[in-house]
Structure 1
């Protein structure tokens, strides 16, 4: 398998920094050069850019640049384009974009990628420009036909009118296609005060098909002559199959073929049941390879030792060591966060048909061109001979930013005559994930006589995903993502030093997990700031407010969340409230959690109150849904999430050992949106990052016990309530 790295120039690095760091917002206008690529389509209608097609019947097709994996982006991005095109959402049809970086690259990242909570941030301007260009051309076509000034015409609901006469977009398609397209950067966009669609609670466009069963995910792929393969991958990373009982597998009715690759065995059959039975009958024996002795205790010990060493400096202002030495009070703490799997509802799958001179792929992926690239690499075909059919994704969370599953499926398909759907079992999915890194953090802070911080030091030890995935994002020994929300916390400190120590765990592949840096750093930073408030004997909300005078948006969400949660009002014995504040993914968020800790140490989260300032809101329903889903995803990890290793193997295998949240554990979640004129921020990962510290700070408020390692160890809380 390739290392997954992608070369970026300096400009590309800035884009990645914007996407993952949240502090920089670059937008790229649609290039006029996009227009010639659609000449063939224009012969039968109007396609002024890569995102819009309008046929002679007036059907508007929006080609969506981002993947829909449940986050509502097919609706939100459609709203951006439809707002400027002057069509209703009921007038459009959605279509997955093909694999094409030149046309559909995420302008904040530089490749065709859905992730980093960037979809709206990246396409806020380009999609509106696309709609505005099309609208301008359609109006110009109508003006030419009527012999009038375009300034006197108006587009509305898929038509152009002068108040008396009306022409539909379909009637104008050919004439508009013949006109020269204006530079997108010169076309006027609507003033936000004139928005009629953006900011409304629009219904999800993908919901009807999901309800009636017509929605097609990658795992739903059906093709003539399709075979299904169950796959077993070496249980130890880097291992390979040693022996396979092919005769026993082939004896299973419906089994057609046994395929061995360098790291896996797949049984190809007429249907999944036969494939699974055949795989079990194959009685595979494995050569575990060099990682057979890997275990969690050793990996943690390595992190602990490496974290004692100075790291690469991510931020250094003032003289933190000197300030610590002179502080009236010093607080030290060590925090740890475990490896985590994604465990998306739709398990890993990929359908592939390899022919002599071409390859077709049917898959749900966050990175179509990377999927195309890995298939080209494995088959030896030119990239343009690989076609990717992208699908709705039943949960991405960063797992489908990786193309290891595509590569493995292509290896199997190269030995199969005809199309084959390779499906991972839940056990394969959890035990061969690419995991959120284990982090080990060391903190020290100094307080003056009034309890205010005079020094803050934070050393992060953990794997660098950037170094592998986007090498330009790993600079001077610092992983830009690993220090996000740590190098730039929302608070003002007179002296601050943040360091990063790269520690790669043997035999454990790591990757994105609904945010990585912030899901780790917000927890440790917000927990430690809570420790400082406790040491200063001050209220946690008041203490934070005293450090946020320079940061009005962060102060605003904190104030709103505390007010809506009834901060400071009495709670029953064994109950507590906790708070968190963050700036990550371009948005400001504060959460307040209300928890109950029972005598047996079990924790029940009753209520989550979340205040969000994500700039201009496209669809309030989408934001509220993402807050709910993100909070529950993060809460699952707080209560249950941990991947551990023994003898090179992942010890968890299904939802009995890698627990999802149960319905009786789900709290009430309230979302309060701040009205803002700022450019949109990201939302998909924000609540996931904010939930852990809010809950853990609430546990402290309820019990007086500070837990610094996730998930919650209920044994440490027994009889605390």
Structure 2
């Protein structure tokens, strides 16, 4: 099986929108995951579809309207760099606006922002530059090629100079060029060079507006509690004690939740604590974690979908010199973002305004329109910075909830979920079981591989049209079908099992994070069985994949792979092709005891294609690793009588500063390939690299997450037959 590179969808045509002395160039971004047709607006102030706009006013201010939202990943820096590179301006001078809902491409997730914006934003900047040069050339009666764009000015052949603002009105009257000349890498002044985050200052000094910061004149604040069991609803509510709390003004109710409204949040919280609510818990009140795992275990032996295959893997296994199998288990996981769920809404007879952080602006708008019964064009969404998304804000049920409460009052209403509400009512990363069996040659290398995945299909709920004709969720191919390895024969099966009592969702790369833990753990086991060094074993498997081989060799060299370590220390390696990027990771750890893990050092080598901002890539990988290590070592969502047992950071553990790796080194490999994604690569690498390092120290395999679970004690899960 060969690697599959995710290609960007075809780009749409650019158009110029003129008006009021401003030059507005709209670069239509690919509607890759939206399936909705784009729509152009008539002027710069109207709503628009999934477009990235460059707006240059007569005041010489350049504004960029981005379809992707900033949630800590740095897209408000790298996207501006792409446009500013071609336009010839200082990125620090650009104003940024979040795009309003349009044709559906304002979706931030899947590590796709740089992949989808690489060409459109550069083309937008180049087209704007070209037209400004043409406008200046017309004034000076010279050839456009004699005019140079530099630092917000067009420079003429004899020393003339006009600012972009001075040329904006003239440029607006010119036709958009059908073809533009982009800068070559040798001409780059910004792309590929480190740049400090453009949003750092406003975040440090408090100017950055997150959803939870929103203050609207006349607003009240609501503290929310939903039925603690999914599928349950509100029974009896006694409001007397709550309404006696100073500052509480109302108690609102919908079918499955209550909201205490007050002048400020503390009063709302006190009112909610005093509220007497009797819940009708419904059919999921008996669900526990073991019921979910029993359901998954049943899928290991029942019928399944054939998701992908080549060759006859089963025959290859039957005829192999040896065979080896293993089963892996991964738990439900919460997102637990730093900023808990919140949404501010003002419902009026003639319209509605929403202020929130969302990864999918269009869905937030559309659900509000449906709830309050107004046309979509009467809904104005104001996207805010997101204090951590990780896929949580790909969901929009909290906006639906806010709209259902907000339509009951005349004033603006901000709902805020407590940390406990945020975790227990999360939409969780699914639990999965994976079973792999390999046929092996006399050297211990794979001749045939079968892989069965048992678990939910997240896309079936989130976007049913995205489910394959055979019922397969393609996200599960990341780390399994999409891999740097080649197998002579391969068969992937999927047994879909939707768990009771929880709603599942994407979690910082569901396919990549779950698939890589399984595949990289299994590859490591096969190397161990063959008596071959894990790096050498992988080197043989990717010998015909030069990009994968390059990151593997680089990480081995930079990590000191194979050099002596102190007692109780070990290294683990993981190799991946996911989200369009190649990454090799080595975790070096110390284990003083079987439950005492200290991560001494992590080394990564990454080929993510053309680098836009190297500092941003390193920061993304560092943060992703720590996020992934926290989940891999400690965390699992469990249920008892339908209720989630983890509810705050004392039961949902986040890696502390003293537990974080002592050192993380990220090495970038130069490449001229188009950029790949990077936001989820570090998280995907964390669990397999760490599990393989722990196995090296403890001399036993770790097939269950979290890694410190007692399930990882030796139990004879391996099954081996000699042919």
With normalisation by structure 1, the TM-score equals 0.93
Is 1:23 paired with 2:5? yes
Given that 2:478 and 2:511 are in contact with CA atoms closer than 8 Å, whether structure 1 keeps it comes out as yes
How far apart in 2 are the matches of 1:324 and 1:425? 52
Correspondence list, 1:487-636, <5 A? 487-599=481-593, 601-636=595-630
Which of 671, 691, 694 aligns to 1:696? It is 691
User: 1:65 offset after TM fit, Å?
Assistant: 1.7
How far apart in 1 are the matches of 2:463 and 2:172? 39
How far apart in 2 are the matches of 1:95 and 1:714? 45
Correspondence list, 1:72-91, <5 A? 72-91=74-93
User: 1:489 offset after TM fit, Å?
Assistant: 2.7
Is 1:238 paired with 2:231? yes
Given that 1:605 and 1:666 are in contact with CA atoms closer than 8 Å, whether structure 2 keeps it comes out as yes
Find the counterpart in structure 2 of residue 271 from structure 1: 264
Which of 703, 706, 722 aligns to 1:711? It is 706
Give the unaligned 5+ runs of structure 2. 27-51, 715-723
How far apart in 1 are the matches of 2:711 and 2:124? 56
Given that 2:368 and 2:403 are in contact with CA atoms closer than 8 Å, whether structure 1 keeps it comes out as yes
* Structure-2 change in CA distance of 1:27 and 1:167 (3 Å): farther
Which of 207, 210, 219 aligns to 2:212? It is 219
Find the counterpart in structure 2 of residue 416 from structure 1: 409
Q: Could you list the per-position Cα deviations for residues 79-130 of structure 1 after superposition, in whole angstroms to 9, with x for gaps in the alignment?
A: 00001111011221111222222xxx5xxxxx32011000010111111111
- Secondary structure at the counterpart of residue 292 of structure 1: helix
User: 1:599 offset after TM fit, Å?
Assistant: 2.3
- Secondary structure at the counterpart of residue 70 of structure 1: coil
How far apart in 2 are the matches of 1:251 and 1:454? 73
- Secondary structure at the counterpart of residue 335 of structure 1: strand
Given that 1:27 and 1:125 are in contact with CA atoms closer than 8 Å, whether structure 2 keeps it comes out as no
Given that 2:594 and 2:698 are in contact with CA atoms closer than 8 Å, whether structure 1 keeps it comes out as no
How far apart in 2 are the matches of 1:716 and 1:293? 24
Find the counterpart in structure 1 of residue 313 from structure 2: 320
User: 1:488 offset after TM fit, Å?
Assistant: 3.1
Give the unaligned 5+ runs of structure 1. 1-20, 106-110
Alignment: residue pair count:
685
How far apart in 1 are the matches of 2:153 and 2:553? 46
Is 1:348 paired with 2:341? yes
- Secondary structure at the counterpart of residue 616 of structure 2: helix
Which of 204, 214, 218 aligns to 2:197? It is 204
- Secondary structure at the counterpart of residue 285 of structure 1: strand
Find the counterpart in structure 1 of residue 460 from structure 2: 467
Q: Could you list the per-position Cα deviations for residues 440-491 of structure 1 after superposition, in whole angstroms to 9, with x for gaps in the alignment?
A: 0111112111111112111001110111222233211211002322123321
Given that 1:328 and 1:449 are in contact with CA atoms closer than 8 Å, whether structure 2 keeps it comes out as yes
Find the counterpart in structure 2 of residue 17 from structure 1: none
How far apart in 2 are the matches of 1:641 and 1:718? 17
Q: Could you list the per-position Cα deviations for residues 601-644 of structure 1 after superposition, in whole angstroms to 9, with x for gaps in the alignment?
A: 22111111011100000000000000001111111111112101
Find the counterpart in structure 2 of residue 129 from structure 1: 123
How far apart in 2 are the matches of 1:545 and 1:632? 27
How far apart in 2 are the matches of 1:344 and 1:547? 38
How far apart in 2 are the matches of 1:604 and 1:679? 37
Find the counterpart in structure 1 of residue 65 from structure 2: 63
User: 1:716 offset after TM fit, Å?
Assistant: 6.8
Q: How much is the aligned-residue C-alpha RMSD, in angstroms? A: 1.5
How far apart in 2 are the matches of 1:262 and 1:22? 46
Is 1:35 paired with 2:35? no
Correspondence list, 1:105-120, <5 A? 105=104, 111-120=105-114
With normalisation by structure 2, the TM-score equals 0.93
Find the counterpart in structure 2 of residue 165 from structure 1: 160
Which of 276, 290, 298 aligns to 1:297? It is 290
Q: Could you list the per-position Cα deviations for residues 582-606 of structure 1 after superposition, in whole angstroms to 9, with x for gaps in the alignment?
A: 0100000010001111225221111
Moved more, 691-700 or 547-556: 547-556
How far apart in 1 are the matches of 2:4 and 2:499? 27
Correspondence list, 1:434-453, <5 A? 434-453=427-446
Is 1:670 paired with 2:689? no
How far apart in 1 are the matches of 2:496 and 2:321? 33
How far apart in 2 are the matches of 1:467 and 1:377? 21
Given that 1:155 and 1:161 are in contact with CA atoms closer than 8 Å, whether structure 2 keeps it comes out as yes
Find the counterpart in structure 2 of residue 15 from structure 1: none
- Secondary structure at the counterpart of residue 280 of structure 1: helix
How far apart in 1 are the matches of 2:131 and 2:62? 15
User: 1:60 offset after TM fit, Å?
Assistant: 0.9
Given that 1:349 and 1:424 are in contact with CA atoms closer than 8 Å, whether structure 2 keeps it comes out as yes
User: 1:518 offset after TM fit, Å?
Assistant: 0.8
How far apart in 2 are the matches of 1:341 and 1:314? 27
- Secondary structure at the counterpart of residue 407 of structure 1: helix
How far apart in 2 are the matches of 1:717 and 1:490? 28
How far apart in 2 are the matches of 1:248 and 1:22? 61
Find the counterpart in structure 1 of residue 375 from structure 2: 382
User: 1:174 offset after TM fit, Å?
Assistant: 1.0
Given that 2:603 and 2:664 are in contact with CA atoms closer than 8 Å, whether structure 1 keeps it comes out as yes
- Secondary structure at the counterpart of residue 691 of structure 1: helix
Given that 2:229 and 2:643 are in contact with CA atoms closer than 8 Å, whether structure 1 keeps it comes out as yes
How far apart in 2 are the matches of 1:374 and 1:35? 31
Moved more, 327-336 or 510-519: 327-336
How far apart in 1 are the matches of 2:499 and 2:396? 21
Find the counterpart in structure 1 of residue 143 from structure 2: 149
How far apart in 2 are the matches of 1:496 and 1:257? 61
How far apart in 2 are the matches of 1:577 and 1:304? 32
Q: Could you list the per-position Cα deviations for residues 184-219 of structure 1 after superposition, in whole angstroms to 9, with x for gaps in the alignment?
A: xx1111112211111111111100011111111000
- Secondary structure at the counterpart of residue 478 of structure 1: coil
Find the counterpart in structure 2 of residue 14 from structure 1: none
User: 1:328 offset after TM fit, Å?
Assistant: 2.1
- Secondary structure at the counterpart of residue 477 of structure 2: coil
